[in-house]
Amino acid sequence: MKPKFLIFTLTVIALVWTFDVNSQSDEDVLKTIYTTSLTNGKSYDWLDHLSNEIGGRLSGSKNAELAVQYTKVELEKLGLDKVWLQPVMVPKWERGEKERAFFEVSGITNEVNICALGGSIATAKDGLSANVIEVQNFEELTTLGTEKIKGKIVFYNRPMQTDLITTFSAYGGCVNQRYAGAMEAAKFGAVGVIVRSMNLRQDDYPHTGSMSYGDLPVEQRIPSAAISTNDANVLSKALKQNKMLQFYFKQNCKQYDDVQSYNVIGEITGSEFPNEYMIVGGHLDSWDLGDGAHDDGAGVVQSMDVLRLLKESGLKPKRSIRVVLFMNEENGLRGGRKYAEVAKEKNEKHVFALESDAGGFTPRGFSFDCSDIMFSKIENWKPLFKPYLIHYFEKGGSGADIGPLKNDDIVLAGLRPDSQRYFDHHHAANDTFEHVNKRELELGAATMTALVFLMDKYGVNTIPQSAKIKD
């Protein structure tokens, strides 16, 4: 066979195949997508590299930059139409030497597992020692007032509510202690803050996460750390015996000037409406204690695989589909803001954005932030997902990184995996690769791809999204 004839033949085969795939029933397309992900997925290998070869990827760190370079190269290998880096300035905070904490009871030293909260200042070089006052919430803090709080370490010990079915609701009910605990306690003269880890298990892992001093002047800022749930229980018990116990902790973290980093973006340009954009993404940065496999390595590799699975399944989207790997979700959201800012500057019309940032667990469905009219349309697709045990389609939040894109016309969505184990690992040293199951990860990637396919095929043009319900 001559080369020219060979090329012709291959072109014909490719065209026939493309035609075949695009004329398939939706049921068949979804079957192809899921089968491809489960038999020929790339997400798990990518996650292995991100987790085990690179590791924790806090914004501004060397690892974060390695992750930028790695994912850019991997996206380039996929034969997308464009791959580029979008510059963004990000905060840089470093934990420094491992923290230490203990308290003494009857001459016996109880070592305690703590970790500095992201953004906290360090203690003095020799550490901080003070009495402890335990509170459940800010109201209690206010009731106690300066008299009882001044000079003490405030210990926030409100546990996550175990009877809520969705663990994110339990997190939402507790996280103000972590985020605003220091700024609130400092107002009453506290010298430090210890926060019960946002964890539904009883174990020894302290869970970090972002905190803020708000408008607090620099000289009033106090160090703030998370304590493991086991040690929170031990400390609380010890305080009941001896209110005057001395608690010592030392942390060595430091905030640096902002540094340059990047969102990583890849695009399949749309065949019919190239100027309408649909994005899938996760965040490339992670906390530093584990390797960030669930939060949010999983979302990153699933999003990358969405574009690859579309190509592998022979699908040619009508609109431009982008994967966006956002930098700095954890302690600044600079990547998400930058992406939306640039999209606005360039007057890019974004019609759909999907984020995966709830762990690489078995997918259950999606949460949608969109108009009622769009949501009722999307709900019609539920039967297509039933064979894959995807059942959860509810209105609600989507994802932090895509939030800045919100307007009246866009559909924002968040993948909703099973949430029961998420906070066992979230922001802790045990957020590691071995806790991600390959199949669960791949099912998530397929579920995202299926939604992107349907949104591209039906979701955007059939009903004008600007058509608002008037009544």
Contact pick of 388, 396, 458, 463 for a copy of itself (by CB under 8 A): 388
Element (H or E) spanning 119, and its range?
none
Contact pick of 11, 22, 35, 146 for a copy of itself (by CB under 8 A): 35
In whole angstroms, how far apart are CA 405 and each of 131, 141, 336, 394, 399?
Answer: 46, 37, 8, 20, 11
Asked if 138 touches a copy of itself (CB under 8 A), the answer is no
> Which one, 341 or 434, has the nearer CB to a copy of itself?
434
Contact range with a copy of itself by CB under 8 A, out of 9-17, 80-88, 163-171, 463-471: 163-171
> Which one, 33 or 327, has the nearer CB to a copy of itself?
33
Asked if 277 touches a copy of itself (CB under 8 A), the answer is no
Report the candidate in 281, 288, 293 with the shortest Cα–Cα distance to residue 48: 293
Contact pick of 174, 180, 222, 443 for a copy of itself (by CB under 8 A): 443
Contact range with a copy of itself by CB under 8 A, out of 118-126, 159-167, 181-189, 220-228: 159-167
Asked if 70 touches a copy of itself (CB under 8 A), the answer is no
CB of 228 to a copy of itself, least distance (A): 16
Contact range with a copy of itself by CB under 8 A, out of 106-114, 283-291, 318-326, 416-424: 416-424
> Which one, 375 or 388, has the nearer CB to a copy of itself?
388
Question: Interaction with a copy of itself in 196-235: which residues (CB under 8 A)?
Answer: 200-201
Distance CA 219, CA 213 (A): 11
> Which one, 199 or 328, has the nearer CB to a copy of itself?
199
Distance CA 168, CA 358 (A): 9
Distance CA 81, CA 78 (A): 9
Kindly state the DSSP code that residue 92 receives in the 8-state scheme: E
Contact pick of 364, 377, 426, 427 for a copy of itself (by CB under 8 A): 364
Asked if 421 touches a copy of itself (CB under 8 A), the answer is yes
In whole angstroms, how far apart are CA 131 and each of 144, 194, 245?
Answer: 15, 12, 6
In whole angstroms, how far apart are CA 65 and each of 45, 50, 146, 256?
Answer: 19, 12, 44, 16
**Residue 434 Cα to chain centre, angstroms:** 18
Contact pick of 23, 25, 39, 241 for a copy of itself (by CB under 8 A): 39
Distance CA 73, CA 88 (A): 19
Contact range with a copy of itself by CB under 8 A, out of 146-154, 215-223, 413-421, 450-458: 413-421
Active site residue 329: yes
Contact pick of 143, 389, 467, 468 for a copy of itself (by CB under 8 A): 389
Contact range with a copy of itself by CB under 8 A, out of 239-247, 340-348, 385-393, 450-458: 385-393
For 182-288, strand residue ranges (E) read: 192-196, 224-227, 246-250, 254-268, 273-283
**Catalytic-labelled residue, pool 329, 330, 355, 442:** 329
> Which one, 158 or 349, has the nearer CB to a copy of itself?
158
CB of 286 to a copy of itself, least distance (A): 22
Number of residues located near a copy of itself, criterion CB under 8 A:
27
Phi, psi for residue 406 in degrees, rounded to 5: -55, 130
CB of 37 to a copy of itself, least distance (A): 9
In the sheet that holds 153-156, the strands lie side by side as 108-111, 100-105, 246-250, 128-135, 153-156, 192-196, 224-227, 114-116
Distance CA 232, CA 155 (A): 9
Asked if 439 touches a copy of itself (CB under 8 A), the answer is yes
Contact pick of 70, 420, 457, 463 for a copy of itself (by CB under 8 A): 420
Q: Are 324 and 280 in contact (CB under 8 A)?
A: yes
Query: Please, which residues have CB within 8 angstroms of residue 214's CB and are 6 or more apart in sequence?
Result: 180, 183
CA geometry: angle at 24 spanning 23 and 25, to 5°? Answer: 120
Burial group, residue 57, by CB count within 10 angstroms (0-12, 13-18, 19+): buried
Q: Partners of 308 in the beta sheet?
A: none
Asked if 171 touches a copy of itself (CB under 8 A), the answer is no
**Catalytic residue positions, numbered:** 329
Q: Residues in the site for a copy of itself, rule: CB under 8 A?
A: 34-35, 38-39, 162-163, 165-167, 200-201, 362, 364, 387-389, 391-392, 418, 420-421, 424, 437-440, 443
